[in-house]
Structure 1
Amino acid sequence: MRSDATADGSALSADVCVVGGGPGGRALALALTRLGLEVVLLEKRDPARGAGPAFRGESVSPDGVRLLAGLGVWERVRGAAHRVDRLEIQDAGRRVLDLRFADFPYRYRHPAELPQDTLLAALAEQTARQPGSCTVLEPATAVGLLVEGPAVTGVRARTPTGTVRVQAPLTVGADGRHSAVRRLCGLQERVRHRPLERDVVWLKLPFPADWDRRVYRVRIAGDSHGLFLPCTDGTVRVGLNISKGGLRALRAGGLGLLCARIGRLAPEAGEAARGSLRTWSDTALLDIFTAEVPRWSAPGVVLIGDAAHTLSPVLGQGVNHALADAVALAPLAAEALGRDRRARGRALHTALDLFQRRREPDVGRSRALQLRQERMFTLTAPAATALRRTVYRALDASPALRRRVLAPAYFPGRHPAVRREQPSTPSEVTSV
C-alpha cells in the first residue's frame, strides 16, 4: 500500500477499498489478504465508543460457523460462543415445533450465539497474520467516490484528522442496510424496498431459571410474537414484534405495557422484565424491511451483505449471508485484479456479475422463507391461525419435510455428510 500527502488531505492506494467494518467487511478483508492483496478498510464507528448495540447481530447460523472455520477464525472464537441445540415454537401456549439441529446431516449443524465485538476482533487478528496487508481507518466515513470515466476508482473519506482519498481499482460497499456506497454510486435508485407489517423492539432480560439455555424460542399469541434467544452473557435477548410505526403507542402505555406484552407471550420473561426494566433506553427499535438491489455492482464497485440484500431478522440470516458474500467474492476479485491494467476492467465486470449470479439464489431462498414466516406470524383469523399450527406440526412430525423447508436457510448449498456418532477429532466434539 502506498501513502501520499495531497493538497486536500492524505492519499492511500490499495487493491481493494472496503467500506464497512462489520462481519462482512472484516471477513472480506481477511479473505482478500489471505490471497496476498492490499486492502484499506473504512469503518465509521469510533472504536472508543465500543461495539455498538448489543441487542442483535450475535446469532451465527450453522453455515456461518462453517464459513468462519474455513477462514481460520472459528477456532479463535469457539470458546466464547454459545452453542444452540434446538428451535422451539409455541403457539397459543402449546409447542408446535421442536427442531433439533443435531438431526441435520452436516458437520457444522448447530447455530451459535457470539458477541459481535469478539467476532470482529478475531477477524481483525486473523487478517493481521496474512500475506497481504489491511490498513484500517476508524472512524472514517465515506463521503464521496473517486471516479475516472465510467468507473469508480476509490473513496473519499472524512476522518478526525481530515479528508483521506483511497485509490483502488475495486471498492466494496459492506456498509449495511442504509449503505452510503449504494447511494453514492447510483445503485440506490432501483432498490425494491419492501416494508414489512411490523417493527421489533429488542431488549435483554435476566434468563428465566427454568429455561434450557441451548434453545431458541419463538412464542406466538394471536398476532403477537417474540423471539427469545440465549446470550453468551447469561441473559436472554428478546425481540418483541410491534405494529409498523407502533413504538409511540407502546411507549405511551409505559414500561408496564411492554412488560405485559412480553408476559403474554412468555410469563417467565414477563416477570424478569418487570423486575429489571427501568427505562426505555434499555431497549432498541429495529425497523423491519427487506431491500432487493437488482444490480449489486457497477464499474469498479460492488455491494455485499445488507447493502446488496437486506433481510429481516427472522432466522438471523443477515450476518451469515454477509460472510458468504465475502467468501464468494474474494477469489473472483483477486483473479480479476491480477490481470494487467488493460484487461482488468473487463475482468472485474465479469467477476462481479458472476459473484451476483452465484450468490443470488441462496439469498432469494432465505428471503422467501423469511417472508413466509413473517406472514404466518401475523395471521389473526381463527382459521388462519389453526392452519399455521397445522403447518408447524407437520414440520415437527416429518424430518424429511424439515430438511426440505429449513435446510435451504440454515445450510445453503450444502450436501449431507456422513454422520459420525463419535467424532474423531477434538474440534468435531464441540464444533457447531
Structure 2
Amino acid sequence: MTIATEVCVVGGGPGGRALALALGRLGRRVVLLEQRAGAARIFRGESISPDGVRLLAGLGVLERVREHAHEVRRLEITDGGARVLDIRFETFPYAYRHPVELAQPVLLSALARATAEQGRCTVLEPASAVELLRDGGTVRGVRATTPDGPVEIRADVTVGADGRYSTVRRLCGIERGARRTDLDRDVVWMKLPFPAAWDRCAYRVRISSGRHGLFLPSTDGTLRVGLNIPKGGLRELRSGGLGLLHARLAELAPELEQEAVAALRSWSDTTLLDIFTTEVRRWSAPGVVLIGDAAHTLSPILGQGVNHALADAVALAPLLAEALAEPRSARPAALAAAALTFQQARQGAVRRSRALQLRQERMFGIEAPIAAALRRAVYRTVNASPALQRRVFAPAYFPGQRPAPADRPLRTEQRT
C-alpha cells in the first residue's frame, strides 16, 4: 500500500503528536507513524514546565487535560540535611507560572483526539519506519512495517520525532554528525507511596555529599524517585542487594525508609535510565527534519525533554506550512530553508537548557567538603534574591514568556 501526503511524522510522542495537530490546524495533510498501539508507551517524564503549559494552551488542548493535571508550586533543594533553596513559582512574573505533572498517556490521548477531530492526519499504529524512500539525495518518505503488511508513505518532508535513539536520524545519515556526551551519572527510577507529611505540590532535590536524588509528585498519587548513581554503577548497586538501595534512599530521605522497604521488593520495581546528551550539528537533511530528543537529547534534570519537544513542534509547524504552500517545483528549496530557520530559532534555547543542566549536574555531584559548603552558599544566595531566581530559572521554565505587565493579573493555570 502507498499513501501520499505532505508531511510524514515518525514518532507519536508529545513532539510528534503536537506537530501533527499544529500542522492540521494550518491545513496541511499529515501521516503519523507510532510503534506502539494507542498510548501504550513507557515514560518516566510527566513534568510540564510553565512554558509547556503555555504551549498546550496555544494548541487548544490544555482544557482537555486540566482535570488530570497536578499543579506544582514549589521547588525545594535540601543539601546535607538543610534546606538551602525554596522556590515559589507563584512569585515569578509570567502569565503561566506553575509547572504541572501530567501522565503522558493522558497528554498523548488529548493530542490524538484533537488531531482526529481535524480530519487531516492519518495515524498508523503500530507502525515502524524501516527505510527512507529517496529520490537522488532527497528523502521522499518512509517505508514502514505494520500488522497489515508493508506501507510506503510518500511525503514532501519527513519529520523524525522518534526520540533519543532515533531511527530517522540514523537512516538519513545525520547520526554521523551527532556528538554524544555521557554524563557522570545514571538514574534509577522507581515509585514509592507518597509520605503523608510531604507537600504534594513540591519538587524536591536531596543532596548528600556527592549523591543526590529527585523526588517528584505523580498524578496517580505516588512519588516518583530518581536516584542518581555513578555512570555504569548499577551492577555495583545491585551487588549490594536491595538493602543497599534502601540505604541509599534513606541517606537522602530518611522519612522514606519505611516506604522504600515496603515498595521495593525486587529490582523489577526499578528502571535504569542511561543519562547522556546528544548534540546534532544539523537538525535536517534534504527532505528530513528532526525534532525533540531526536535532534537534541537532554538529561532529566528540570524535566526539559517534553517541553522542548512541544516547543519544537510549535515552532516548526508554521514554517513547514508556509513552505508547503509554495508551487511543487519550489518546495524542496523552501523546505530546506524552513528547516534551517527552525534550527536557528530553537537551538539557542536548547543550548541554554543543556548548559543549565550540566551546571546543575556538576553542582549536585560535588563531594569535597569545602566545595560542598560553597555549593550550599550559592543556593542560599539564590534563595535570598528573587532577581537571581529569575535569572537562573527563567531560561529553563519560562523561555517563551515575557514578564507580565505589573497592571495585568497573572493567570491561574490549574488548581488541584
Q: How does 1:4-403 map to 2 (within 5 A)?
A: 10-47=1-38, 51-54=40-43, 56-130=44-118, 133-403=120-390
**Is the alpha carbon distance of 1:322 and 1:429 closer, same or farther for their aligned partners in structure 2, counting shifts above 3 Å?**
closer
Instruction: Please list the CA deviations of residues 278-323 of structure 1 after superposition, one character each: whole Å capped at 9, or x if unmatched.
Output: 2111111000000000000011100000000000000000000000
SS at match of 2:412: helix
- Measured in 2, the distance between the counterparts of 1:422 and 1:170 equals 42
- Secondary structure at the aligned position of 2:139 is classed as strand
Answer yes or no: is the 8 Å Cα contact 1:157–1:165 preserved in 2: yes
Q: Tell me the SS of whatever aligns to 2:261.
A: helix
- 1:162 positional shift: 1.2
Contact 1:228 1:236 in 2 (8 A): yes
TM-score (norm 2): 0.98
- 1:380-414 CA distances to partner (integer Å, 9 max, x unpaired)? 11111111111111110100011011101111132
C-alpha distance in 1, partners of 2:181/2:412?
A: 41
Partner of 1:4: none
Deviation at 1:343, TM superposition (A): 0.7
Is contact 1:39–1:134 with CA below 8 Å preserved after alignment? yes
Compared CA separation, residues 256 and 53, structure 1 to 2 (3 A): farther
CA contact (8 A) 1:107 1:419 kept: no
Q: Distance in 2 between matches of 1:305 and 1:52?
A: 16
Distance in 1 (alpha carbons) for counterparts of 2:228 and 2:316: 34
Give 3-state SS (helix, strand or coil) of 2:274's partner. Answer: strand
The answer (yes or no) to whether the contact 1:15–1:39 under 8 Å persists in 2 is yes
- Paired letter, 2:41: G
Q: CA deviation at 1:430?
A: 3.0
Q: Say if 2:96 and 2:413, in contact at 8 Å, map to a contact too.
A: no
SS at match of 1:178: coil
Taking a change above 3 Å as real, the CA distance of residues 342 and 117 of structure 1, as seen in their structure-2 partners, is same
CA distance in 1, matches of 2:141, 2:381: 52
Q: C-alpha separation between the residues in 2 aligned to 1:181 and 1:288?
A: 21
Q: How many residues align structurally?
A: 416
Whether the 8 Å contact between 1:362 and 1:413 is mirrored in structure 2 is no
Unaligned runs of 5+ in 2: none
Deviation at 1:137, TM superposition (A): 0.8
CA change 1:279–1:357 in 2 (3 A) is same
Name the amino acid aligned to 1:83: E
Amino acid in structure 1 at the alignment position of 2:299: S
> Is 2:70–2:414's contact at 8 Å kept on the other side of the alignment?
no
The percent identity for this pair of structures is 67
